[in-house]
Amino acid sequence: MNAAPTVSEMDMFQGTYDRALAKGARAAVRDVLAVKKNERVLIITNPGKDTQSISMALYDAVLEDKGAPILMFQREKGQFDFAEEEVVKALATNPEIGLSISKDRLGKDRHGLKHGYMGKRRYDHIYDLLYNEKKLRGFWSPGITTEMFSRTVPIDYTRLRSDSSRICKVIGRSDTVRVVAPGGTDLTIGVSGRKAHADDGDFRKPGQAGNIPSGEVYVSPVVGTTNGVIAFDGSMVVNDGEVIIKKPIMATVRGGYVTELSGGKEAEALRESIREGEKKARENGRKGLLKPSMVEKYAKNASSIGELGIGLNRKARIVANMLEDEKVYGTCHFAVGSNYDGDAEALIHLDGLVDSPTITAVSTTGRETTFMERGKLVWD
């Protein structure tokens, strides 16, 4: 049986972060994760100032609640980088909780990408396997900052979970979802048979995982069903980082794939990012990191629409960091690249915001239910 933490352990990191960060860490450990005595909490991070301070605050908060934290550092990872083998092996020990506090990404799984992990379906990352197969719970926070963590994590989770649940139920009984917005977005996606996921900060049971900060409902469109126009007019992730959009990116979508892009330099950056996703898939095939049968699928899906997400965190704001931007109440986002249901995999997943959307779910009988109108939930 693990011994209770000693005073010296409890004082190990205190003093390296402020009270607001400690408050956020306690909210994450208690309200989000509900850490129990002796549960192993694997925290994977990078040695940057913000990521290190947040990870240390989480470490202390876990100790306070008598959990068993393990803190692991690796070098910063980007869009196409691989996680260190030691990180993958640490996850393979099946900790009850796995947290990724990263400057950019956790990193791709070399073994998973090449060989896959089989469960209810094929997974190309061990973390995805563990939480989807209900062996782990936790969260990931790519690009998190101390200011963001302190402001957006201690929130009203009861309200967030209620909003998320209502939206999930509406989408769950729908055939299609239509999104229109003042900037020019007019798009329809198929959702029949898809499960809408609530990233609502409820990661208290195995199989529950998502972002911190929390605050969205997301769904993967049925492959090939997305049609219309997206006017990205908030912020956008591209391979070189994230940009605040000055001139809207107009994306024409046919049969689930982006077929045309127009706009300013932001549109060109997105176009180049899609090309890079296609190029990297073929490069990985030549290097033996992707099975030959998967190469062209990954390349093609670099231009697919992989997600519709709806922002619900009322403390979030647009700060040119998609971890927070996509949670902003009154926005929605679409991802270009891989989806979350495993039937449209790609090496990229690039989120872009649409401001003040009106979102309407349509049932198989044609009944329409509008749950967000010009960025406001209709029950507010």
Q: What are the tens digits of pLDDT across the range 153-190?
A: 999 999 999 999 999 999 999 999 999 999 999 999 99
The neighbouring-strand residues paired with 325 are none
Is it the case that residue 59 has pLDDT exceeding 50?
A: yes
pLDDT in tens, 80-113: 899 999 999 999 999 999 999 999 999 999 999 9
In this predicted structure, which of 5-19, 164-178, 309-323, 339-353 has the lowest mean pLDDT? 5-19
Sign of CA dihedral 26, 31, 32, 38: positive
Is it the case that residue 341 has pLDDT exceeding 90?
A: yes
Instruction: Please name the amino acid found at residue 163.
Output: D
Helices (H) and strands (E) in the chain, counts: 11, 22
pLDDT in tens, 308-332: 999 999 999 999 999 999 999 999 9
Per-residue model confidence (pLDDT) at position 327? 97
Spell out the domain ranges in the chain: 7-148, 156-377
Per-residue model confidence (pLDDT) at position 8? 46
Per-residue model confidence (pLDDT) at position 313? 98
Q: How far apart are CA 311 and CA 320, in angstroms?
A: 15
Is the preceding peptide bond at 213 cis, omega within 30 degrees of 0? yes
Q: Which two structure tokens, joined as six digits, stand for 15?
A: 């003093």
Percent over 90 (pLDDT), the chain: 93
Instruction: Please name the amino acid found at residue 33.
Output: L
- Tell me the average pLDDT across 280-302: 95
Is it the case that residue 284 has pLDDT exceeding 50?
A: yes
Is it the case that residue 144 has pLDDT exceeding 70?
A: yes
* Among the listed residues 186, 190, 263, the one whose alpha carbon sits nearest the alpha carbon of residue 228: 186
Per-residue model confidence (pLDDT) at position 2? 47
Distance of CA 137 to the CA centre of its chain: 14
User: Measured at the alpha carbon of residue 73, what is the angle toward residues 117 and 205, in degrees to the nearest 5?
Assistant: 50
pLDDT in tens, 121-131: 999 999 999 99
Residue 22, φ and ψ in degrees, nearest 5: -65, -40
Q: Write down the pTM of the prediction.
A: 0.86
Mean per-residue pLDDT over the chain, rounded: 94
Residue 320, φ and ψ in degrees, nearest 5: 65, 35
Out of 1.10.260, 3.40.1830, 3.40.1720, 2.70.98, the CATH code matching 7-148 is 3.40.1830
